[in-house]
Amino acid sequence: MSKNTQQESTRTVIITGATRGIGREMAKGFSRRGWRVAGCARSRKDVEKIAEDLGAGNFFEVVDISNDASVATFARQVIDNLGTPDLLINNAALMNDPARLWEIPAVEFDRLTAVNINGIANVIRHFAGDMIRQGRGIIVNLSSGWGRSTSADVAPYCTSKWAVEGLTSALAQELPEGMAAISLNPGVIDTDMLRQCWGNEAASCQTPAQWAKTALPFLEKITAQDNGRQLTAP
């Protein structure tokens, strides 16, 4: 196989929030499985660490996905370096500190929705066009059990994940044949985000590394035939 053919046959995945929790495990796992990985996060230290861990042939950058201009620059860099993504995973999200809705400061609510809702729209805005021109690509928007049900004290997070479900369903109706948008409930995983609302009880849940062992093969099998589906990771 020629070098060019080999490069063309290698798939590319983009992961937002790629330096912590399941985002980091997805980045590491996809790289081990032969994918080119592009990722972003807000912490320069964490971005430099994942870039060093995964090595050459991948691309990582500091990006605040709630900033549309920052996402636009990132998208141009990724496409220039790695080409059109085969799989786009909108993983980055914030959790609110548990409290009744009327007790949550406006600045906290606004910051959460800016990342969890607007951030996904920004990423799709700057990658979908290239994917459509190439006639291929899968968009996976991370939802939650709290995007299909609700609990007290996490109303901002529930709001954002219900919005992700609606956004994804509408997007699926807009995409051309050969592409797919799906919402994914990843399940309950022991991450910093879960510990923010569950405390030490989160330790009873699977780790991000354990989750990735079954979730990555599942993600790799998503096709255009799954367009519009509400999926749950195994």
Query: Considering the domain boundaries, does residue 162 fall inside one?
Result: yes
Give 85: exposed, middle or buried? Use CB within 10 Å, 0-12, 13-18, 19+. Answer: buried
Tell me the per-residue pLDDT of 20-29, one tens digit each, with 9 for 90 and over. Answer: 999 999 999 9
pTM of the model: 0.94
Query: Considering the domain boundaries, does residue 89 fall inside one?
Result: yes
Give CA–CA dist 148/59, Å, rounded.
33
Query: Considering the domain boundaries, does residue 1 fall inside one?
Result: no
Query: Considering the domain boundaries, does residue 75 fall inside one?
Result: yes
Q: Say how many domains are in the chain.
A: 1
* pLDDT computed for residue 7 by the predictor: 43
* pLDDT computed for residue 132 by the predictor: 98
- Using 70 as the pLDDT threshold, list the residues of the chain that sit under it: 1-9
* pLDDT computed for residue 203 by the predictor: 85
Q: How many CB atoms lie within 10 A of CB 201?
A: 11
* pLDDT computed for residue 129 by the predictor: 97
Query: The domain spanning residue 190 has which CATH number?
Result: 3.40.50.720
* pLDDT computed for residue 9 by the predictor: 63
Catalytic site positions: 157
Q: Which residues constitute the domain of residue 138?
A: 9-232
Query: Considering the domain boundaries, does residue 2 fall inside one?
Result: no
Query: Considering the domain boundaries, does residue 119 fall inside one?
Result: yes
Give CA–CA dist 54/169, Å, rounded.
33
